[in-house]
Amino acid sequence: MWLLSVLLPLLRLYLCGVKVLIYQMFNKSFTLPVLPRQDGRVAIVTGGTRGMGYETARHLASLGMHVIIAGNEKEEGAAAVRRIKEEGCERKAEFVYIDLTSLKSVRNFAQAFKQRRLPLHVLVNNAGTMMVPERNTVDGFEFHFELNYLGHFLLTNLLLDTLKRSGRGGCCSRIINMSSATHYAGVVQLDDLNSRICYSSHGAYSQSKLALVLFTYYLQEQMVAGGFPVIANAVDPGMVDTALYENLWSLAQAMKKPVAKILFRTPAEGASISVYAAAASEMEGVGGCYLYNGEKRQSSPLSYDSELQAELWKKSCELVGL
């Protein structure tokens, strides 16, 4: 039983990875279309100090957005802001501290942002971690579950009224949730969301990415039902050469390095799907999608389970105290 609980998530996840690599072997990263200027719009990008988050923040700032990089590394944040501004003195970027593994920190961030009375047009829930050995957050949640999903769930809900007020007909506010192909291997255990029964880092990571897709679809339904000018989409960057892989086993890391040089996307290429969802004219008013390589794709069959979406939403609200 224990062996199956650990081995099956591992095999499912690596099978997903092989499929993605085969696709990337024969298909180039899509080219972003010419994007309209975004002057006067405000964006928050979590995990924007490095990797795909940084590239997303940098590109949105280049389009004229006021970009708030939200992260938990203050020195990295200051350096990221400095690099963005060096590319163009007119670019608006700033760093604000948030720890997505602490619900208190998420609430403090949201409260401080709302006190500034800024609009919010784009929220990119990009921050994440992968394959972390078993550990709990300060709130007692499994690390992948809170950092990748639950912290973003709370952040989005706390900022939702601002997003609603900032959007308007023909110019919706946009929420982008960073999922991955590993969600196809995911299973959401509503009675064991914190993976207490039998821990698998592969299973915990896949579950968190599936949870983000389920969250996206349910949130989009709510926005449509209420007639709010807000859209929500999930994006999949493919396999990208970032620090996410630093928790791989030593053997897996050794095998990954030569493959990554040939087949992995660069952080800028991986970020292009988030930038597309955040700024492309073609995505105006289009929500409830799973976007990969510039196209709408079918996500996992489980992600379309409306009962599971509703049950996860209800459970998440209970866990964060909404």
Angle between helices 151-166 and 103-115 (to 10 degrees): 20
Which residue in the block uniquely carries the two structure tokens 């859209």? 231
Tokens of 126: 């990009």
Q: What residues are annotated to the active site?
A: 205
Torsion sign across C-alpha atoms 293, 298, 302, 308: positive
Residue of 12, 4, 13 whose CA lies nearest to 248: 13
The full DSSP string for 10-51 is HHHHHHHHHHHHHHHHHSPPPPPPPPPP-TT-EEEEETTTSH
User: What burial class does residue 263 get, using C-beta atoms within 10 Å of its C-beta: 0-12 exposed, 13-18 middle, 19+ buried?
Assistant: middle
Torsion sign across C-alpha atoms 136, 113, 170, 45: negative
Helix (H, G, I), strand (E, B) or coil at 5: helix
The full DSSP string for 71-86 is ES-HHHHHHHHHHHHH
The torsion angle over the Cα atoms of residues 167, 317, 176 and 260, rounded to 10 degrees, is 170
What is the C-alpha separation between 193 and 204, in angstroms, rounded?
8
Q: How many distinct helices (H) and strands (E) make up the chain? A: 10, 8
Tell me phi and psi for residue 197, to 5 degrees.
Answer: -65, -50
Q: Are strands 173-178 and 66-71 parallel, antiparallel or unpaired?
A: unpaired
| CA 147 and chain centroid, separation | 10
